[in-house]
Structure 1
Amino acid sequence: MIQRIQSIWLLLATIALILMMFLPLVSKENKTTETEIHTVGLYKDVVGKPGPGLLMEQFTPLLITNIVVAVLCFINIFNFKRRTMQKRIAVFSIIAIGGFAFWCSIFAQKLPGGIDGARFDFGAYLPAVSILFCIMAIIGINKDEKLIRSAERLR
């Protein structure tokens, strides 16, 4: 149900995780090439040449994990009738996003020459943003439970 605030927070967490598939996590620029890490894989691009970069290595398990965590947050929107279950899934999503972010940092070390001198792009901060949105959803679920308990006391 969209009128509940936790649904909006979970939708925003899903959107942040989906954006991770399209935005670079880490990039490193040499004199002639620029290398970027996405959740899809490692891209190499010649500096000054227009067009998309060349996919050098594909990170299929990382991409699948990204999709699974995004789908988990999205499906949790429809558990609004079972608030306890929705809260548990949101906590599990936070743990899964934290593990996914750690796994992304391990894949970021696959940059040629390591992460020394690398630039963290916007995609690297999206797991923290989605964790924040999940925490806000849990706060909304708690407020919803408190409101329902107070309404039951009045009966």
Structure 2
Amino acid sequence: MIQRIQSIWFFLAALTLVLMLFLPIATKTVDGSEAKIFTNGLHHFLEGKTGKVLNVEVFLPLLITHIAVAIICFINIFNYKKRSFQKRFAIVSIILIVGFAFWCSIYAKELPGGVKGASFGIGAYLPAAAILFIVLGIFGINKDERLIRSAERLR
């Protein structure tokens, strides 16, 4: 059923991936300006002029992949009638998130001077949280399967 706990876990996974759109992955201060890596690109913030953002580079393939992975996690909520498919789809989502996180780490090297001396923001840790939520969703699916098997034994 859609009100089961795994629906909440899959929604939280999709929500953490959406939050990653707005939170920086890594930040580095170079020559009086601050460079931040988001999933949509590399942004330079000039400290002398508040509110001045120079978007140096756009990572369009990474942004499209990010949105696709978040949508896949959200779509998995509505596969509740097919539990085995939902579980396989969740495992595929975990693999996609791991690949996406690896790809983000490759793009983090685009910071001026590399990642040495950079501070990683909360956006760098959100894929791990999304994976955790999906694993908890898989545990919820397994719990539902055990409940259904025990109910069938009672008939």
TM-score range, shorter chain: over 0.9
Query: What pairs with 1:1-150 in structure 2 (closer than 5 Å)?
Result: 1-51=1-51, 53-150=53-150
Check whether the contact 2:39–2:104 (CA below 8 A) recurs between aligned residues: yes
Structure 1 residue 37: Cα displacement: 0.3
5+ long unaligned stretches in structure 2 = none
- Supply the distance in 2 between the matched residues of 1:47 and 1:146 (Cα, whole angstroms): 57
Alpha-carbon distance change, 48 to 146 in structure 1, aligned in 2, over 3 angstroms: farther
- Supply the distance in 1 between the matched residues of 2:30 and 2:132 (Cα, whole angstroms): 34
Matched residues, percent identical? Answer: 61
Check whether the contact 2:90–2:134 (CA below 8 A) recurs between aligned residues: yes
- Supply the distance in 2 between the matched residues of 1:14 and 1:153 (Cα, whole angstroms): 35
Alpha-carbon distance change, 36 to 130 in structure 1, aligned in 2, over 3 angstroms: same
Check whether the contact 1:2–1:8 (CA below 8 A) recurs between aligned residues: no
SS at match of 2:36: strand
Check whether the contact 1:20–1:123 (CA below 8 A) recurs between aligned residues: yes
SS at match of 2:35: strand
SS at match of 1:114: coil
Computed over aligned residues only, the root mean square deviation of the Cα atoms, in angstroms, reads: 1.0
What is the TM-score normalised by the length of structure 1? 0.97
- Supply the distance in 1 between the matched residues of 2:48 and 2:148 (Cα, whole angstroms): 60
Alpha-carbon distance change, 14 to 49 in structure 1, aligned in 2, over 3 angstroms: same
Structure 1 residue 52: Cα displacement: 5.0
Structure 1 residue 19: Cα displacement: 0.7
Q: Residues 54-104 of structure 1: CA distance to partner in whole angstroms, max 9, x if unpaired?
A: 211000000001001000000000000000000000000000000000000
Structure 1 residue 30: Cα displacement: 2.3
Structure 1: 4+ residue segments shifted above 2 A = none
Q: Residues 23-72 of structure 1: CA distance to partner in whole angstroms, max 9, x if unpaired?
A: 10001012410000000000001124321522110000000010010000
Alpha-carbon distance change, 116 to 5 in structure 1, aligned in 2, over 3 angstroms: same
Check whether the contact 2:2–2:80 (CA below 8 A) recurs between aligned residues: no
